[in-house]
Amino acid sequence: MAEPVKHSVSVAGVVLNEARQVLIIQRKDNRHWEPPGGVLEIDESPQSGVRREVKEETGLDVEVDTLTGVYKNVEKGVVALVFRCFASTSSVETATSETINAQWVDRETVDKLLDEAYAVRVHDAFEATVAVRTHDGVVLSGDVDS
């Protein structure tokens, strides 16, 4: 009997600074702009995973605030837990082993640089409810709960 297909769990941080700008990274592997994040390791909590991923990709230590969304990439079977985070400093590493760029941007710039499936994570982080959405890796599907 074949093994059932399983999901992968990832975490991401929508990091805000005192000016209410959002930290985004440009990934090395696909050159796309996204909030920092990656695969959750077996032995860590989602909040610890967010802190680790943000640190690895930007050099920044963050305070994890609250879960703001759950997003399923139906094409790849990845479920992402996204948390709003706060940074006490705006000083980031612009290039790491996983990123080619990192920058602080306003919400309007998010819509210009990020695919819809990732831009919505930033916008959802500014809301008071937890969004649950599906997408194909680029575009949201019509299935939205919040």
> What residues does each domain of the chain span?
11-145
The DSSP bridge pattern shows strands 37-39 and 99-105 to be unpaired
Has this prediction a pTM greater than 0.95?
A: no
- Measured CA to CA, the distance from residue 78 to residue 133 in angstroms comes to 12
Is there a contact between 73 and 137 (Cβ–Cβ < 8 Å)?
yes
pLDDT of the residue at 70: 97
> How would CATH label the architecture of 11-145?
Alpha-Beta Complex (3.90)
* pLDDT by residue, tens only, the chain of 146 residues: 777 778 899 999 999 999 999 999 999 999 999 999 999 999 999 999 999 999 999 999 999 999 999 999 999 999 999 999 999 888 888 888 999 999 999 999 999 999 999 999 999 999 878 999 999 999 998 765 54
Is there a contact between 53 and 12 (Cβ–Cβ < 8 Å)?
yes
Radius of gyration over every alpha carbon of the chain, rounded to an integer in angstroms: 15
